[in-house]
Amino acid sequence: MFTETYDLSTATAVTIEPPEPHDVYVGQGGRQLASAYGEHDADKSGSGLLPYELREYVDSDSANRIDWKATARLGSPHVTEYELEAEQRTILVVDARASTKRGQPGETPLDYIREVGLGLVDSAEKTADPVSLYLLEEGQYTLTEQAAKTSAEFRRIRYQLNQLSTQSELAQKSQGQRTRVSLKRSQLRTQFSEDDSTLGQTLSPYLKTGFRTAYTNTDVLGEVVERIILEHRDAGSVQVQLLTTDLNQPTLLDSAARLSENGHQMVTFLTPAVLFDTNTQRPIAGEDSYREYVEFEEFRRTLARLDRVKALELGPRNRVKTLLAQRDP
Which amino acid, 185? R
- Give the tens place of pLDDT for each residue, 193-214: 555 666 655 655 555 545 567 7
pLDDT for 175: 37
**219 within 8 A of 251, measured Cβ to Cβ:** yes
Which amino acid, 196? D
Distance CA 19, CA 110 (A): 11
Burial 95-134 (b: 16+ CB within 10 A, else e): bbbebbbeeeeebbbbbbbbbbbbebbebbbeeebbbbbb
Task: Sort strands 309-316 and 265-271 into parallel, antiparallel or unpaired.
Answer: parallel
Nearest to 68 by CA among 59, 60, 80: 80
Q: Is 283 helix (H, G, I), strand (E, B) or coil?
A: coil
Structure-model confidence comparison of residues 67 and 253, the more confident one: 253
Distance CA 92, CA 129 (A): 12
Task: Say how far residue 115 (Cα) sits from the centre of its chain.
Answer: 8
pLDDT for 84: 52
Nearest to 110 by CA among 154, 155, 34, 168: 168
The secondary structure of the chain in percent helix, strand, coil, rounded to multiples of 5, reads 40, 20, 40
**325 within 8 A of 283, measured Cβ to Cβ:** no
Task: Sort strands 49-56 and 31-32 into parallel, antiparallel or unpaired.
Answer: unpaired
Burial 15-53 (b: 16+ CB within 10 A, else e): eeebeebeebbbbeeeeeeeeebbebbeeeebbbeeeee
**DSSP secondary structure string, 191-237?**
HHTT--SHHHHHHHHHH----EEEE-SS-HHHHHHHHHHHHTTTS--
pLDDT for 279: 65
pLDDT for 266: 95
- Beta-carbon-side half-sphere exposure of residue 140 (alpha carbons within 13 Å): 8
- Give the tens place of pLDDT for each residue, 111-143: 999 999 999 999 888 888 899 999 999 989 999
**207 within 8 A of 188, measured Cβ to Cβ:** yes
How far CA 301 is from CA of 289, 295, 305, in Å, comes to 19, 10, 6
Question: Does 152 score more than 80 pLDDT?
Answer: yes
Query: How much of the chain exceeds pLDDT 90, in percent?
Result: 37
Q: What domains does the chain contain, in order, with CATH numbers?
A: 24-43+87-173+210-324 (3.40.50), 49-84 (no CATH)
How far CA 287 is from CA of 275, 279, 322, in Å, comes to 14, 15, 12
pLDDT for 71: 87
Q: How confident is the model at residue 216 (pLDDT cuts 50, 70, 90)?
A: low
- Give the tens place of pLDDT for each residue, 11-48: 555 555 666 787 899 998 888 875 555 555 444 433 34
Q: Could you tell me how many residues make up the chain?
A: 329
Question: How many other CB atoms are there within 10 angstroms of residue 152's CB atom?
Answer: 14
Distance CA 246, CA 252 (A): 8
Q: What is the pTM of this model?
A: 0.71
Query: How much of the chain exceeds pLDDT 70, in percent?
Result: 67
Question: Does 222 score more than 50 pLDDT?
Answer: yes
